[in-house]
Amino acid sequence: MSREVRVAVFRPDDERLANAVELLDSLGATPVPDPMLAVEPTGAVPGDDVRPDVAVLTSKTGVELLAEAGWSPGEATLACIGPKTAAAARDAGWTVDLVPEEYSSSGLVAALDGDVDGKRVAVARSDHGSQVLIEGLRDAGADVRETVLYRLRSPEGAGQSTVMAAGSELDAACFTSSLTVENFLEAAAERGVRGEAIAGLNRAVVGAIGEPTRQTAAEFGIRVDVVPENATFEALATAVVEKAAPTYHE
């Protein structure tokens, strides 16, 4: 007989969290939803002054905010990081010209290198985007204009999972960005259980959606057991549950 596998998930409290909970439940795990991010739109859109030659979008949230604002890429080459971002762009009626094989800032830079020299490149994303993307595109010769579409903050009341981690009540956790790691630890510190929460995570199975998130966790002393080949939540959750479940068979 197998015990329940309790998996903490930190997605924003919208359809992403609902879908994550549904997915974990379908995998036979017990979801522990604890949103570590809240989205605050800025109302800004790229290309107000000069239309870009290339537009880079890094999230489904960014695409949806731009579509709601009536923005479109026009004649610009549209590059999207990851299939979810690309699917949202297509749903908005836009043509997606490029999705890198590696769903990351470095992967996108590699895909665009050689095609952006001397071109205006609009990067539209959150206020916590990696500088790897901006610096890499500039090194490739691009004139980069960054637009902050939304800010990410830690929602009030987040952090119950940190108490569970401290008490060894979590079997696994899925971190989907460096910021979710940082906000988890801030919430743990506010509750006076930061050290215990880190120790609890290190007794559990920890998954990180990509190498940057893994590196952030490692910097804080959190051992990451799972980094999926594809940087999607589905791949992350599936790999984490598969890793955690055998541990809890009796």
- Report the C-alpha gap between 58 and 55 in whole angstroms: 10
For residue 3, pLDDT over 90 is answered with no
Q: Would you kindly state where each structural domain of the chain is located, as residue ranges? A: 5-37+155-244, 40-152
- Report the C-alpha gap between 164 and 140 in whole angstroms: 46
Average pLDDT over residues 91-104: 92
Query: Which helix (H) or strand (E) is 30 found in, with range?
Result: strand 30-33
Residue 58 exposed, middle or buried by CB count within 10 Å (0-12, 13-18, 19+): buried
| Per-residue confidence (pLDDT) for residue 1, from 0 to 100 | 26
- Pick 4 or 44 by higher pLDDT: 44
**233-244 vs 15-26: helix crossing angle, rounded to 10:** 40
List of E strands, 28-137: 30-33, 38-41, 54-57, 77-80, 120-126
Q: What is this structure's pTM?
A: 0.78
| Per-residue confidence (pLDDT) for residue 179, from 0 to 100 | 92
User: Is the domain defined by 5-37+155-244 classed in CATH 3.55.50.30?
Assistant: no
17-29 confidence digits (pLDDT tens): 999 999 999 999 9
192-209 confidence digits (pLDDT tens): 999 999 999 999 999 999
For residue 230, pLDDT over 80 is answered with yes
43-84 confidence digits (pLDDT tens): 999 976 678 999 999 999 999 999 999 999 999 999 999 888
| Per-residue confidence (pLDDT) for residue 50, from 0 to 100 | 75
Query: Which helix (H) or strand (E) is 15 found in, with range?
Result: helix 15-26
**What 3-state class would DSSP assign to 42?**
coil
Do the domains 5-37+155-244 and 40-152 sit in the same CATH topology, yes or no? yes
- Report the C-alpha gap between 222 and 214 in whole angstroms: 9
**Do 221 and 115 contact (CB within 8 A), yes or no?**
no
| Per-residue confidence (pLDDT) for residue 48, from 0 to 100 | 66
Q: Can you name the CATH fold of 40-152? A: Rossmann fold (3.40.50)
| Per-residue confidence (pLDDT) for residue 47, from 0 to 100 | 76
Contact residues for 107 (Cβ-Cβ < 8 A; gap 6+): 81, 100, 101
pLDDT above 90 coverage of the chain, percent:
81
